[in-house]
Amino acid sequence: MKLAPEFVLCAVNSLFLPESLPTFIVQHVSREETELAARFGQIHPILVAPSNAGTGYVIQGGILHFLALKRAGLTNIFCRITGEAASPQSAFALRILHEQPACQNSPILQALLIKAMDGFLSLAEQLSLLPLMGLKAQQHILAERLSLLQLNSAVQEALHTQELHSKNINLLARLPTEEQKHLVELISRYHLRGSKQQKLVELMAELHLRDGSTVSSLLAEWQESEPPQDNLPQESQNLLNFLFNRYNPRVIQAEQRFHEQVRGLQAPAGVNITHTPAFEDEAVTVQLSYSSWAKLQAQWPHLLKLTETGNPDR
């Protein structure tokens, strides 16, 4: 028969954060969470365990909720005490549940919980708890999450705040620790997300692995090219273009040759000739612009006749 949960009202100053908790987690409590705590008070109990010092409790779950309540000015907080009779697996399941949904959104919180489980739970028990974190019950995920704790602290912070997407970690981890930090700072400066973030990480990592280029040296080269400084989106796109051309020097040569060929054609006004992205093949596209529908209609018979006799490849 299961014992009823034990709850207690605790003074804030009798509750302690785990010693192993990274500082950036304490610092990144959103203003929205704090405002909600100030408006509605405590939503659910904090999970705690008696302190080894004999006084007070150490917070086991609901850390972010506790921090928001504390910042909102609450002096007493309702807590659930983990019972000694509970199995280690049940105790860790409760810790995970008390961190939802923050745990599902933060690979670092997941990694910290997995590290805490190691030594207390069997492999099968650890795997059984991964779905509670929103993860698949696969052994390689345990190792992947634990490896995150070996990354630069700035990288861990970016993962926790979701500035850095976890799918870019494998490439980022191939860089030296300081290079990881500089690259994350660049991502933060330009607010890069999605494919642009992935492209930046890929190009920086490949250039480093190919010729030893560092983030700082590549940025210095880029600055010498006098990039636009009108706004951050234009700057970031120009940086990505620079890195792509730096990684693919043949593209620059092909671009120069293409423009020389276009100038040699002496195309009339209104004719635009373009190539395929990165010159992936030799195809070209010719676009004609007309100032009105009537002018297009007047020229249409000639265009039809030209395409019929010229029969350009498509």
Lowest-pLDDT choice from 185-199, 247-261, 285-299: 247-261
The mean pLDDT of 217-230, rounded to a whole number, is: 86
List, for residues 128-141, the tens digit of each pLDDT value.
Answer: 999 999 999 999 99
Residue with the bigger pLDDT between 42 and 305: it is 42
| Phi, psi at 117, each rounded to 5° | -70, -30
List, for residues 173-223, the tens digit of each pLDDT value.
Answer: 888 888 999 999 999 999 999 999 999 999 999 899 888 889 999 999 998
Percent of the chain topping pLDDT 70: 90
Residue with the bigger pLDDT between 176 and 126: it is 126
Question: Distance (Å, rounded) from C-alpha 94 to C-alpha 105?
Answer: 17
Contact 152, 181 (CB under 8 A): yes
* Residue 311 scores a pLDDT above 70: no
Is the sign of the CA dihedral 23, 26, 31, 33 positive or negative?
positive
Range of 144-148, 269-273, 278-282 with top mean pLDDT: 144-148
Contact 64, 54 (CB under 8 A): no
The mean pLDDT of 61-81, rounded to a whole number, is: 93
Q: What is the mean pLDDT of the chain?
A: 86
Lowest-pLDDT choice from 95-104, 278-287, 291-300: 278-287
* Residue 9 bridge partners (DSSP): 78
pTM of the model: 0.72
The mean pLDDT of 216-243, rounded to a whole number, is: 88
Would you place residue 314 in the very low, low, confident or very high pLDDT band (cuts 50, 70, 90)? Answer: very low
* Residue 304 scores a pLDDT above 60: yes
